[in-house]
Structure 1
Amino acid sequence: MFIASFFKSTRQLASFSFALSAASAISNGRRADSSACKLPAVPAAHYSEGHGVKFDCAPSFGTMRAKMIFVDSPDAIDSGIPPPLDRNEIPAAVEWFRNSSFGSLNLHVDFDGSRYYRMPRPSTSYSFERNLTAETHQKYMDHAVDAWLAYTNVTVPHVTSTNGPLVDVLYIVPTRKASAITFTTTSSIPVHTTRGHYVARKGVTLGHEDLKFWGPKLLNHETGHAMCLPDLYPLPVGYTQKYVGNWDLMANAGGHSPDFFAWHKWKLGWLLDLEVDCIIGPGSSTHTLSPVEVMGGGAHTKAVVVRHNSTTAFVVEVRSNLGNNHGAYSQGVLLYMVATDVETGKGPVRVLDANPGLRGERCESDRLDDASLSLERASSFTAEEWGVTLPKGPADRAAGTTLRQARSAHHEVDPSDSDLDPVLEASRIADSTVPDGGYGWVVISACAIVGWWFSGVNYSWGVMQGALVERGVGSASVLSFCGALSPALMASLAIINARVVRSLGTRKLALMGIFFVGMSQIGASFVTHSTVGLFFLPAHHEVDPSDSDLDPVLEASRIADSTVPDGGYGWVVISACAIVGWWVSGVNYSWGVMQGALVERGVGSASVLSFCGALSPALMASLAIINARVVRSLGTRKLALMGIFFVGMSQIGASFVTHSTVGLFFLPGALLGLGMSFCFMAVTVTPAQYFSRKRGLANGIVYAGGGLGAAVLSIATNAMIERYGVEWAFRIIGIVCFSTGFPAAYMIKERIPIQTSGFIDWKLFRQGSFDIIFVAGAIGVFPLLVPPFFIPLYARSMGLSTSTGAALLAGYNFSSAIGRIISGHLCDILGPLNTLFAFLAINSLTMIALWPASTTLAPLAVFAVMNGLTNGGFFASMPTCIGNIFGSARVSTAMGMIVTGWVGGYLFGSPIAGYLLDAYGGADEGLKAYRPAMFYAGSVSLVATSLILLMRLRINKKPWAKEVESLLNFKDAQRQCRRRIANLGQSKGSLHATGGPAWLMLYRAQCVA
């Protein structure tokens, strides 16, 4: 009988009973000493899974000394500096081993990033294929070592030395230009120089792009070989699901549950003998296990080993989503067999699928992702061929009692019963080593200083509040609410930050906190006359009651537009807005390149990271209504400067959290979105004040800046990642953003002050035209970010290189820039609604018809160009439609309301496509897996197109007739015209008798004059 818990917290354990059948080869069923289950290694099996392998293995306990060098060759010369792997990749690998070994193993890597050492032969001469011979591989390592030692004065011990080798592991990393070095492998024999000097116990040679693809865990996988662990995936080449799925790092370096099996941890000395229960012979027994990822300190059982014979054993352990397995797709009791007489790559470990045929919601292409036994699914299992039975039967009643006790323990835990809670036990062990002083006093002092600021600034708000009340900035009740907001937000984010601190650590979190506290005070100094700046509160909106028959916003639009210069300083403003737009759209639309690099590192899946990229435009949209009010208080210049600051800081900050999805959500996600929202509002409302007849062209140029920025940044980002790594790519983007964005933002200014009004003009929702364009925009945004986020990944699934994917994305973004200019010009010729309808229709067709047919590079390039053109047209046409239909003085309010409707599309549009891709097998399943996402995007775009067509026909049913410039609102315009005609002494009745087109002629002749 078997009871397994589904893990939702670290407090859950698994309690179960064994019933061993007579098929077991050993009699006298009993719990034996653990050493009886330590199956010895079989010498004939290469890298045997048994204990006591005699193969000059690297140490798995204490300090493992390693050296990393870089090499190039005559056919792949690299004069640059090797990538700084010591900044992120190596520390991540060290931390992974520290977590997995419970602190038992310290990987110390001596990183030599000074230069590339030149190999004597071309890289093609080493025949790096899957059938690479040991002799050829040894020659490659010999030449690398000789090239390195020729430039150093390192003393290498002779092979007969009793002091051991120079290092335990030697990592040899080729330049990425050495495309002939196609894969990574570890030597099975020690590394010697050609003169017989003992360099390392094991040598690891990396493929030219493998580290970029697999990330830091590739080093952990190969170092596992150095400790004499075998490959658990099929060799020479095979898919992981055949034997163990994603359950161990030696099967899949990019797996979802990569922590080592309990058998491996026991074999490496990371689990004590008393943490393993050994079962021999028939009978039944009950065991309580704690997750293999949690340190037990000898107080918990981590595994049960049922010895079958001298070379095979059945192992049971508990897996959770803790530690190195934080990305686990399923949790529960994992069952597998170990065969010590099976060599590496032939299945020495095989996971038993407790849920055959079941494919969980989060499980992708690997059928063994949900192999664990949990209460959510089956509650019993029989492994007949291994003589272990876990049946339902008479013991169920007792089992039910055990189950109820286990569940109650989730809620009430007796602190004295440490056997039931691994967290309490880990705390007890950790507390036993607390120094109660020493550096702790430094930490306490630092915490006190940080506390000085976060409590002091808040508790002294009353002084600031009094001064602001005296100035007349706001009432005491309003300003006290400003002061109350900060502790309220602190409390509301407490649960989230409890997760963030585990990802970033206390130091980074404190630094970020101090930065935001300081910036809040500096930023407040610029908004001391604005309650909106101090706290986003709406001002009173007053309308002249004597003229309630007229729409003051529309009247202001007419008066303002009559004096628009259509040039002059307006071109300076347009150029500045284009540069700011370069960064607003460029950083976001080139996210696909960063996303591809982070997916290859194993930071997260495409769906998760696309959600990071979608968060920033979603936040931009969600803040649009608020920023429509803010821009009227601060002005476009200050808003643009603040936006550029946040955009740049988001990139620089992201460079320090590239291994944390939580950090990526907050920095290139949320903080970037805040900066984008400020910049977007500034560059959206300003052009309408300087251009009327050329308004479409002006908006096209502004939005073309974003397209060009995305195009250039796509290529530049890929080049920077290859040259300097992801971290420095982020930093360089941030620094250049500051240096170019600040001067451009300073040149932006409004021609006339933007009218102060409330956040929302509710009267707009009474107009059918506004309602339709609001809904059309909200729906149409869903598919717009799907192509730019997934083109690089789609190209990789086609077998194209990452640079080709980046080039396609650059072409897409460059086409988007051209499309924005073309659509802007067409808005002035054909009318904005006609242009918007045409571009949306073509955009839909490209995703439904052209993208699914793009199975080679040529049609994919055509799709990237066509979809980019029409995508850019949407963003350039929309502001022109708003300005022409609802008035230039209303652009900020109307655009704020409409863009806020885009939140859902920005936030969920591309993640939906990502989840559809994952549901149909993921990027590794080939191009067909992308088709549901393509059809989703195209069909949603068709719905938006239909709505724009409906709005177009409401205004004028004649196809392709240009809409009236500045349609304003028919009823409001009619009231204005009635009043003016009455003042001229003309009959109101003649107005009604003239009809529609004649009325418009009368309006132009008499009302506009």
Structure 2
Amino acid sequence: MSRQFPLRTYRGPRLRSTAAVFSTLSAIAATSLVTGPSVAEPFSAVPCALQRTSVHHSEGLDTWNAAYPRPSRALDAVMVFLSFPDAAPRTTPAQLAADHFPATSRFFEQASYGKFTLRPHPVKHWIRMPRPSTAYAIKRDWSSGSRAAYLRDALSVADPQVDFSRYDVVYFVADPDAPGVDSDATKVVNLDTPLRADGTNLRRVVTVFEKHPPDRLVLAHETGHVFDLPDLYHRPDDGKGDWDTYVGDWDLMGSQFGLAPDLFGWHKWKLGWLDPRQVVCVRESGVTRVTLEPLGSGPGVAVTGAAGPPAFGLGEGVKLAVVRTGPDSVLAFEARGQVGADAAACRSGILVYRVQGTAQSGGGPIQVVDAHPHTEACWENSVYPPLADAPVGLGETFEVPHENIRVAVEGRTPSGAWNVKITAGPQE
């Protein structure tokens, strides 16, 4: 039986908006995905890359959706701190900024192998909202009208003091101690019709209502949505039970509490942090042997190898192996362990997961395949112990259910990479 986390499981990860908002400034919708050549930037011609579809936060990566900022360069983020007439803040903007930075920037710097830098620009003082915090009815499943009023007021009071044209990402950070603030309401609001400020379009805003101190890596999770990454958790119909049945600990977009929150190799490929040469397309019939570097390894990161002391210098080799299983689906293989952002990972080995190009955010676009379905691990810390021991371990062979694909972990190199044999097609 999996462990229940009252503050995690029942609360679950953050949810995105599901209703349209119409106000004098904007129409807010659950998705701002715009299709068509005008926003489709060519990205990857690798044969096993899924095509981007019209679903919200599609896992297709043959093109980049230019409606979202691409984290392949340094981006600037402004943090605007909002107070309310019905509360005197008990924290300072500097304290709240320190809750999230440099931790958020450090996560992306490490996950991107130094290819992306998120530069925070916190406003140094509180900016007062015109109405009490209780007037906005802030809560997890926020009403469209109240949310629109909040954004309208936040922009109106901040615009005279902030030049929004200078920033790629906008965080509106509310006083966490105001009586009407609910930390469960932290989310990204996507704007179907952009807000205009300082001659620039604001297509999405991160509304932050976190307590002080906040949930671990929560801002990194929300910022992932700004870069077109989907939610990977499963929300139970009754709001109770396990939220983390799809990916468990294995990606930040599933849970900010995960033991192994590094982004999947598929997401790193989507964001441009893996070069095509670091992805191997597995033959759909026959045997493919590949040496996979640990996903978290990069310049200056120590990797515990099979022989000798921790080695350095990995980071430019193959990180991801992919085999097509259908027109809109693949199986992905990557090496995960206690490296980089995954330093607290429960188990090491080759992680196997399915990617569905037509599944939208929250609908299971990625699902980890459990190589040890009859056991669980790290019960005391894992967000979902049944998947904590999902990787295929050294010396093990695993046949992926319903796929005629078998993976064998044959050994490790002295530098700590993993030697893997993938057999596709009818099994003897």
The question of a shared fold, defined as TM-score above 0.5 by the shorter chain, is answered with yes
SS at match of 1:306: strand
Matched, 1:104 2:115: yes
- Unpaired runs of 5+ in structure 1? 1-32, 157-164, 392-398, 411-419, 423-1009
Show the counterpart of 1:372.
391
| Cα distance in 2, alignment partners of residues 107 and 172 from structure 1 | 16
Residue 178, structure 1, aligned to residue 178, structure 2:
yes
Letter in structure 2 aligned against 1:344: S
Q: 1:320 to 1:272 in 2, by over 3 A?
A: same
Q: Aligned residue for 1:347? A: 364
Q: Where does residue 50 of structure 1 map in the other structure?
A: 60
What letter matches 1:188 in structure 2?
Answer: N
1:868-910 Cα offsets, whole Å, 9 max, x none, are xxxxxxxxxxxxxxxxxxxxxxxxxxxxxxxxxxxxxxxxxxx
User: CA 1:127 to 1:113, structure 2 compared with 1: closer, same or farther past 3 Å?
Assistant: same
The answer for the alignment partner of 2:231 in structure 1 is 231
* Contact 1:190–1:200 under 8 Å retained in 2: no
Match of 2:77 in 1: 66
- What letter matches 1:249 in structure 2? L
Deviations 1:392-451 (A, max 9, x none): xxxxxxx8xx54xx4xx54xxxxxxxxx556xxxxxxxxxxxxxxxxxxxxxxxxxxxxx
Structure 1 residue 129 corresponds to structure 2 residue 129: no
On the 8 A contact 1:302/1:318 being kept in 2, the answer is yes
Structure whose CA Rg is larger: 1
Does the alignment pair 1:81 with 2:92? yes
Q: 1:788-867, aligned counterparts within 5 Å?
A: none
1:477-496 → structure 2 map (5 Å cutoff): none
| Distance in 2 (alpha carbons) for counterparts of 1:197 and 1:137 | 23
- Cross-structure match for 2:205: 203
Asked if the contact 2:246–2:366 (Cα under 8 Å) also holds between the matched residues in 1, the reply is yes
CA separation in 2, counterparts of 1:96 and 1:155?
Answer: 27
Deviation at 1:188, TM superposition (A): 2.0
Aligned residue type for 1:106: T
Amino acid at match of 2:224: G
Instruction: Give 1:242's aligned amino acid.
Output: T
Q: Distance in 1 between matches of 2:407 and 2:344?
A: 28
Q: Provide the residue aligned with 1:212 in structure 2.
A: 213
Report 1 or 2 for greater relative contact order, CA contacts < 8 Å, sequence distance ≥ 6.
Answer: 2
Letter of the 1:205 counterpart: T
Question: C-alpha distance in 2, partners of 1:290/1:79?
Answer: 47
In the alignment, what sits opposite 2:296? 293
Partner of 2:309: none
Q: Which amino acid aligns with 2:213?
A: K
* Mapping for residues 441-480 of structure 1, pairs under 5 Å: none
Per-residue deviation, residues 348-376 of structure 1 (Å, max 9, x unmatched): 11001111121235664521111111138
In 2, Cα distance between equivalents of 1:170 and 1:82: 15
In 2, the alpha carbon distance for the partners of 1:179 and 1:83 equals: 21
Aligned equivalent of 2:310: none
1:141 aligns with 2:161: no
Sort the Cα spacing of 1:90 and 1:351 in 2 relative to 1 into closer, same or farther, 3 A.
Answer: same
Structure that is richer in helix per residue: 1
Change in CA separation of 1:421 and 1:350 when aligned onto 2, cut-off 3 Å:
closer
Map of 1:244 onto structure 2: 247
Give the 3-state SS of the residue equivalent to 1:40 in structure 2: coil
What amino acid does structure 2 have at the position aligned with 1:40? Q
Question: 2:103 is matched with which residue?
Answer: 92
CA deviation vs aligned residue, 1:447-473 (integer Å, no higher than 9, x gap): xxxxxxxxxxxxxxxxxxxxxxxxxxx
Cα distance change on mapping 1:323 and 1:59 into 2, 3 Å: same
Q: Would you say the 8 A contact 1:276–1:302 is kept in 2?
A: yes
Unaligned 5+ residue runs, structure 2? 1-43, 299-312, 418-428
Query: How far apart are the structure 1 equivalents of 2:324 and 2:235?
Result: 27
CA distance in 2: counterparts of 1:190 and 1:171, whole angstroms: 18
Per the TM alignment, residue 275 of structure 1 is displaced from its structure 2 partner at its CA by 0.4
The whole-number CA distance in structure 2 between the counterparts of 1:118 and 1:299 is 48
Using the TM superposition, give the Cα deviation of residue 229 of structure 1 relative to its aligned residue in structure 2, in angstroms: 0.4
SS across alignment from 2:74: strand
In the TM superposition, residue 342 of structure 1 has moved relative to its aligned partner by 0.8
In 2, Cα distance between equivalents of 1:298 and 1:278: 19
SS of equivalent to 2:65: coil
Aligned-pair identity in percent equals 30
The 5-angstrom pairing of residues 773-788 of structure 1 reads none
- Taking the aligned partners of 1:372 and 1:81, their CA distance within structure 2 comes to 43
Query: Could you tell me whether the CA contact under 8 Å between 2:357 and 2:365 is conserved in 1?
Result: yes
3-state SS of 1:146 partner: helix
Q: Could you say what secondary structure the match of 2:169 adopts?
A: strand
Q: Is the CA contact 2:196–2:202 (under 8 Å) kept in the aligned structure 1?
A: no
Q: CA RMSD in A?
A: 2.8
The 1-side partners of 2:317 and 2:141 are apart by: 44
Tell me which residue corresponds to 1:113: 124
Which among 319, 333, 338 is matched to residue 316 of structure 1? 333
Say which SS state the counterpart of residue 290 (structure 2) adopts.
Answer: strand
Is the 1:168–1:201 Cα contact (8 Å) retained in structure 2? Answer: no
Correspondences of 1:27-46 after superposition (within 5 Å): 35-43=46-54, 45-46=55-56
Query: Counterparts in 2 of 1:200-599, with a 5 A limit?
Result: 200-209=202-211, 212-215=213-216, 217-235=217-235, 237=239, 239-295=242-298, 299-360=316-377, 364=381, 366=384, 367-375=386-394, 379-390=396-407, 403=411, 406=412, 409-410=413-414
Decide which structure has greater strand share.
Answer: 2
Change (3 A) 1:380 1:175: same
Structure 1 residues 133 and 196: CA distance shift in structure 2, 3 A: farther
> How far off its partner does 1:195 sit?
6.9
TM superposition shift of 1:307: 1.1
| Structure 2 residue matching 1:334: 3-state secondary structure | strand
Query: 1:285: Cα distance to partner?
Result: 1.2
TM-score scaled by structure 1? Answer: 0.33
Letter in 2 for 1:131: D
Task: Please give the TM-score of this superposition, normalised by the length of structure 2.
Answer: 0.75
CA distance, structure 1, for counterparts of residue 159 and residue 234 of structure 2: 37
Separation in 1, partners of 2:145, 2:50: 32
Q: Label 1:257 to 1:79 Cα distance change in 2 as closer, same or farther (>3 A).
A: closer
Contact 1:67/1:171 (CA < 8 Å) preserved in 2? yes
